[in-house]
Amino acid sequence: MKIETKFKWALTGFLVMVLLNAALLTTIWIKKSGDRDGKSFRDNDRNPNVIHRYMQRELQLTDAQADSLSALRKSHYQEMRVLRKELNVDRRAYFDFIMSDEANNDQKRDSILTELTNQYSIIENMFYTHMTDMKEILNNEQQERFEQLMRETFIHDRKGDNMPMPHRNR
């Protein structure tokens, strides 16, 4: 292939990449600045204060309830942080195993997978136990609203039942 042809293909590829990146950035910018009602506590789910304020507003919590939920959530996050770190270590170990020459060792693979499955099960159980503990602090009306919020946030209908899932509207 001639050098001019190679250069033309390289330039064409570069221009296509620039256009695709510009389109992607524009799409992201439009989505971020689009219709956001500010009601979602998942908008910034890394910040517990955002979640706390959202729950306080949506559930109309008393100060005592807000304090109890805050303490409960803080304890839960600390426990979950430890479990997720352990899970990430084991996930990396599993990935390293799969990429290694030992990948055909079924017994070792099954052992690591069993451990990962157990960890996921513990995390999932702790999550639902935490929701139950939170619900016990609320009165009947608040419990109904809490259940609705949890359904909208965590139960995803893959067929698309038009349930609001604000954390996916980024």
For residue range 139-163, list pLDDT tens digits in order.
999 999 999 888 888 776 555 554 4
Task: Provide the phi-psi class of 60: left if phi over 0, else alpha when psi is between -120 and 50, else beta.
Answer: left
Could you tell me what percent of the chain has a pLDDT over 90?
19
Contact 16, 145 (CB under 8 A): no
pLDDT tens readout for residues 96-134: 988 988 888 889 888 888 888 899 899 889 988 998 999
* Residue among 161, 136, 157, 162 at smallest CA distance from 147: 136
Q: Which pLDDT score, from 0 to 100, does residue 156 have?
A: 66
Mean pLDDT is lowest, of 24-28, 31-35, 41-45, for 41-45
